[in-house]
Amino acid sequence: MDGIPGKGLVKGLAVTAKTMAHRAHTRQYPDVEPDLPPRSRGVIALFEENCTVCMLCARECPDWCIYIDSHKEEVVVPGAARARQRNVLDRFAIDFSLCMYCGICIEACPFDALYWSPEFEYAEYDIRDLLHEKDRLREWMWTVPPPPAHDPMGEPAKEESTAARRAAR
């Protein structure tokens, strides 16, 4: 090739020497936590109080990894002519061994009962333990970060515009 033989190797070694003089790029993970953005798709949290058992999430899930059981309850509202029927959530479970982390359930939920959390340290020794029942999913709710502000050039977030509309009323 062109030039002095071994020039390419020397150039490579120069890069190595240069890198050696710099700080290492590595983050010592278990000791140093990674900085994850709020949108990071780590685990799905369930805000059980908001769930109305509409089953939209379970139906929209591409691999049907959401299990929901419920029963109907009669609620007697004082003053009302008849007793109302209400859905009560018995079981809500997400099988994270099947989940593809696409976020369609969260998008499909019309009542804001599902959220992404960046938490990711829930590996298990047994695959069956990846099935998170509703109390465990509720616990993840405490780790859900506030959503990031939208770019001022774009449209404001859905939460912002609804809040503004409510305030104007």
Where do contacts with other proteins occur on this chain (CB under 8 A)?
A: 1, 5-9, 11-12, 14-16, 18-19, 25, 36-37, 39-41, 60, 62, 100-104, 107, 116, 148-157
- The CA distance from 117 to 44, in Å, is 6
The residues with which 113 forms a beta bridge, in sequence order, are none
Q: What are phi and psi of 72, to 5 degrees?
A: -95, 145
Rg of the Cα atoms in the chain: 25
99 is in an annotated binding site: yes
On whether 109 is known to bind a ligand per the annotation, the reply is: yes
* Single-letter code of the amino acid located at 109: C
Shortest separation between residue 161's beta carbon and other proteins, angstroms:
11
CB of 84 to other proteins, least distance (A): 26
Nearer to other proteins, 22 or 72 (CB): 22
Beta bridge partner(s), residue 66: 94
Is 65 labeled as ligand-binding? Answer: no
Q: Is 102 annotated as a binding residue?
A: yes
Smallest distance from other proteins to CB 67, Å = 18
